[in-house]
Structure 1
Amino acid sequence: MQLPQIRLQSQMAKIQIQQTPARQEIRQPKADLSIEQPKADLTMKTKPAKLNIDQTQAWEDMNRMHVSKLIKKFANEGQQALLEGIGRRAEQGAQLMKIENKGNPIPQQAIANAFDGMKTLGIKFIPSQFSVHLDYQPAEVDIDVKPNKPIIDAKINKPTHQYERGSVNINMKQYQNLDIDFVHLFPES
C-alpha cells in the first residue's frame, strides 16, 4: 500500500558579494637639496727673516781690514814706536849725562840697542773667539682666515596622493524556491 505523500523541496536564497578593495598610494618625493660651501678667504702676510753677519772684527784680527783702517792702525803703531824711541833715547841720554855716578852705561846701552826683544810665537791668522757677530730677526707671519657660511637651498616637494574608491556589488546569486509535490494521493487503478 502506498501512502500519500507531500514532498517539499526547498532552495535557499543565496546572495553574491563582489568587492573591489580601495587603493591608496602616497608618495613623498625627496626634497631638492643644494648645498654649496664657498672656500674660506685666506690671506697671509709674511715679513721675511733677517740675518746679519758682521765679521769685521774677525778680519781685523787677521790683519785683513779695509785700507783706510790699515793705514790708521799702522800710523798709530808708528806713532807709538816713535814715542817709545824718543823716550828710550831721552832715558839713555839722561844716563850718559850722569856717567859720573858710578856706572858704565855705554856697554849696557850698546847691548840693549843691538838686539831686539824676544819675539812671541803664535798663530796670528786665527781670529779671536766670538769675533763674528750674528744678529737674527725671525720672520713674522700674519694669517687672516675668514670662513664663509654654506649656501643651502632646499625645495620641499609636496607628497603625491592617489586614491581609488573601493566598491561592493551585492547580487542575488540564487533565489529562494519551494517546490511542493503531492505523490500517491489517488489510488492507481
Structure 2
Amino acid sequence: MLFAPLRPLIDALDKTTTDTARATVREELASALTTRVRTMVRMRFATRMFVSSTMEDTVQECLLAVWKGLPLLESKEEAALAVWLSKIVRNKVADVFRRGPVPTAATTAFARRLSELTSPSRRAAKSETMARVLEHVHELNERQREVIELAFFDGLCTAEIGTVLDISRPAAAMSLRRALIDLQAKCTSLDDPR
C-alpha cells in the first residue's frame, strides 16, 4: 500500500469521547490526509509538466472537500475511502486545468522526494530519470495517464481503478498494462537512439 491506512484514524475519531483525545486523533488524521492529498495533487501537476502557485490552493480545496464529506462517508472499507479521496483530488485538479492556462515550470516537484538520497550524483541521476518518466507520462493519452495516476500516485489497486473509471476490474488491469507498455516503449526509445 502506497499510503498509511486512514480508516483506523477515522474510526478512532468516531469512538473517542474526551476532547483532548479527540483533538489528538483529529490532528493525526489531518496530518495523514494532508500528506496524502498533497502528494496526489503534486504528482498530477507534475505529469502535466506544470508546477503552479495554485498547487497549494488546490491541496487546500481538496482538504476542505474531504473534511466536509468525511462525516457523510458511509463505507467502512479502506478501499472505498481511497477511491473517494482519489475522485475528490481528480475533480479538483481537473477544475484547475479547465480554468485556463497554468504557468509552466521545470519539473521540480520531486526535489523533496530526492532529498533523502545522500549522493549528489545519485540524486542528479534520479532527478533526470524522474523528469524523463514524467515527460513520457505527459505524452500518454488522457486515459492512460489517468490509469497511471490512479495506480501509482493514488495507490489504488485495479479493482479500485475500475470503480473510479466505471469499468470492470479486468478492463482496468488491461488499461494499466497497456499504459505501462506504452510508457516503457516511450522511455526505452530515447535510451536507444537508432
The TM tier, using the shorter chain, reads: under 0.3
Structure holding more strand per residue: 1
Give me the TM-score of the superposition, normalised by structure 1: 0.23
RCO higher in structure (CA 8 A, sep ≥6): 1
Indicate the structure with greater helix content: 2
Q: TM-score, with normalisation over the residues of structure 2?
A: 0.22
